[in-house]
Structure 1
Amino acid sequence: MEHLAVMHHLLDIENQAAQLVADAQKEADRRIQEKEEELRKHYEQVYREEANKWEEEYQRRLEELQNEYRRLLADYERELEGRTTDITTFCKTVETYLFEGQKA
């Protein structure tokens, strides 16, 4: 009978060991999940900060370029307005280039 008691005692110890391993695995899984969530939140925060920084830089540069474009366009329009149009000379020049040498 004593050998049965020893066997039961060993089985109890094995069950306790299995329970300890299962508990340790649950604790490890909980800690891993907790850390993953913490790191995900940190990543999202850093990502948002960087994305906002780049968006602000993009908007600032876009505004600069749009202002430069408007300034250049206004300068060009002023330059065109300051020019005189001489249709007679233009027509003579076109006629010279297109029809010179074709006189019959």
Structure 2
Amino acid sequence: MSSCVEPDCNDVKKAFYPDEYNLIVGEASIDNSWIKIIGYHPITYKKSNIMVHNNWIDDYNEVEAGDTIIKRAGNLELVIHKKDTIIRHDWYCKGKPYK
């Protein structure tokens, strides 16, 4: 006998706290499940990528080449720096924002 229990959001968010990104976007693919970004670090210019479950972004066309994606370790907020705007996204679970 097995049980299919939905995970508790407070437990799930703990997996996202250690993640840290600082990446200038070269290419982005975002859907309701995944954020996939290929780019480079703005200081070292080292190529890097992100592939993480999407718990932040609803507008899948919001991230463009040249934007900077930042997420600090210990924080759930995802920040998109555009040329003239900074967009901040809370981390969502079951339709509710978590910090």
> Does the pair score TM above 0.5?
no
Larger Rg: 1
Flag the structure with higher helix content.
1
